[in-house]
Amino acid sequence: MFGYQEKTALNGAAQALSYERTDESYPVTNIVSKKVEDTNMVQKEPLGKSKTVGQGLKPEIYDAVHGASSLKSHNDWNARKCITGEPTAKMLEPDADLGKCVKPGCRNVVWNEQDKDRAFGTPTIRMDIPKPAFRSVADHQNYGDEPEAISVILPAQQLDLGAQDSDFTTVRSKNELRSIFEKLGYVYRPAKFNAIFNRSVTYSEQLIGKQLPVDHSTAKGMMRAVQEMHNI
């Protein structure tokens, strides 16, 4: 390799904080005239304080902030209003074409009496069709397994540890779940653990929407069962 090697910087963070420091010593403190500081106090405008006009100091008011406010009024939009908005009651009502056809000449008529409350049209979340085993990158369909908006705004703490939301709904065996919760400090006698596990199966089947194999449940179902029956 040709050329000069870049000098290795030791204590880079310390040098960044003390950028005026040389390799041998710290910079020498310069003592300037008080007239310079007095001039700066008159000419410069301090943040949140009134400008000195050379007519003496006013009584200090600690809870007063001087200067013009960044907001023109209290009704100005901020970050919170950008997220929550200010919807009216009419905006919160369902759309006129939700679950029915509004095309002129068409009617929302069902053939069977049991379908009188059915919704027409294609749902946005396609939980009525099976999710493909290998999903294509061009498949933009939502199969009901995508996170909600609250998960994007306020992500869960376990994401920093590499645990996804799908890990809590994965079907696991009874022995695997017992090993996981014992490592977390939830050690129970066999009879109590069986009761908690049976309760978790009910929660897991409600969560997934189908019947689970024998002696299988989910971590999320176990968490709800432990929360309910831990102190019993």
The domains of the chain are located at 167-229
Beta pairing partners, 125 = 142
C-alpha span between 55 and 50 (Å, rounded): 12
Query: Does residue 5 register a pLDDT over 80?
Result: no
Complete DSSP assignment for 65-121: --S--SSSSTTS--HHHHHH----TTTTSPPTTTTS--STT-----SSGGGTT---S
Q: What is the pLDDT of residue 54?
A: 65
Which position has the higher pLDDT, 61 or 43? Answer: 43
pLDDT at 85 over 60: yes
- Alpha-carbon dihedral 81, 160, 143, 132, rounded to 10 degrees: 160
Mean pLDDT of 79-107: 80
pLDDT in tens, 55-81: 665 666 666 666 677 766 667 777 888
What is 155-180 written as a DSSP string? --GGGGGT--THHHHS-EEHHHHHHH
User: How would you class 201 by CB atoms within 10 Å of its CB: exposed for 0-12, middle for 13-18, buried for 19 or more?
Assistant: buried
pTM of the complete model: 0.42
Q: In this predicted structure, what is the pLDDT of residue 67? A: 67
Mean of the per-residue pLDDT values of the chain? 81
- Residue 204 and residue 201: Cα distance in Å, rounded? 5
176 pLDDT exceeds 90? yes
pLDDT value at residue 226: 94
- For residues 150 and 66, what is the distance between their CA atoms, to the nearest angstrom? 38
Confidence band, pLDDT 50/70/90 cuts, at residue 94: confident
Residue-wise pLDDT for 164-174, tens only, equals 878 888 999 99
CA distances from 156 to 11, 148, 159 (A): 35, 12, 6
